[in-house]
Amino acid sequence: MSSASNHEFRNFNQPLGGDAVPRFAGIATMMRLPHQATTDGLDACFVGVPFDLGTSNRSGARFGPRQVRSESVLLRPYNMATRAAPFDSLQVADIGDVATNAYNIFASIDRIEKAYDGIIANGCRPVTIGGDHTIAWPILRALHRRYGPIGVVHVDAHADVNDTMGGEKIAHGTPFRRAVEEGLLDCNRVVQIGLRGTGYHADDFDWCRQQGFRVVQAEECWYRSLVPLMKEVTERVGHGPVYLSFDIDGLDPSFAPGTGTPEVGGLTVQQGLEIIRGLRGLNLVGADLVEISPPYDPHGTTALVGANLAFEMLCVLPGVQYRD
């Protein structure tokens, strides 16, 4: 079946339009898409992981999924810049939230991992709304089980490769250390973008480089378009499975103040868009947007940025049609 006839015979979910029901009305699913409980029949899904037991400073990321859904009601189905029309060719729904355990970090990690085993079993590609960054570890465990070693594009102010935090192995600053130790990553296909700020040692980011990661510190991004960088990134990650993990604190706090561990001198919204749009054509097996903390986001700006970034992630998944 050609993609054109495929389009005729499949009835794809569409975001509810603003003329049908006002944008401020109704139950706020992501992009006003239908909600369904499982990924049966889905090519991609939005899923929330309300969890912040791993945070080291300001908490509140447990409220991220709900707030991003609320700000996502303004999103329309077509990408005016890239011409991506994800709902022309992908079946997408909001599958709700993973039921984390608010009293137990270990039980939560276990529940997240098991949930993602199910979410990706039929090839569905999840766009996750966190949650703090701890959640990337159990998600990568599930992805590795299905796809093998994963390449990662990691946008963040922080490397998140601490051995421990407060003596604990599981925290929002340790997920990529755990992932490397467990062999989940294809380390030569890992790129970290936006790292910056104060540290404990001058060589804090060198552990990453020693693993084979390409580390792009924020200063390397200042005052320039990231389109050339993304050409290098796509060549590096190649055709293998790749995961995008986007910590909202990779952006500058002037754009995204509602987060737990803000660092000055970060990426612009435009650079964030260039990074995501630059992933078009890759075998993106999933993506997350983490560390949005609504209690520190009084105007909803951070959640609005996050909602748009999540839509852009959907727009670069394999199989998306472009109305060129």
User: Which residues in this chain contact Mn ion in the complex, by CB under 5 A?
Assistant: 133, 156-158, 160, 247, 249
Using the minimum distance from each CB to Mn ion, give the nearer residue, 15 or 64.
64
What is the nearest approach in angstroms of Mn ion to the Cβ of residue 145? Answer: 23
Using the minimum distance from each CB to Mn ion, give the nearer residue, 72 or 245.
245
What is the nearest approach in angstroms of Mn ion to the Cβ of residue 153? Answer: 13
Using the minimum distance from each CB to Mn ion, give the nearer residue, 158 or 214.
158
Using the minimum distance from each CB to Mn ion, give the nearer residue, 62 or 158.
158
What is the nearest approach in angstroms of Mn ion to the Cβ of residue 50? Answer: 17
Q: Count CB neighbours of 303 within 10 A.
A: 27
What own/partner pairs with CB < 8 Å and gap ≥ 24 does 214-220 have? 214/190, 215/159, 215/191, 216/191, 216/192, 218/157, 218/194, 218/265, 218/266, 218/267, 219/265
Q: Is there a contact between 53 and 37 (Cβ–Cβ < 8 Å)?
A: no
What is the nearest approach in angstroms of Mn ion to the Cβ of residue 167? Answer: 19
What is the nearest approach in angstroms of Mn ion to the Cβ of residue 311? Answer: 21
Using the minimum distance from each CB to Mn ion, give the nearer residue, 295 or 318.
295
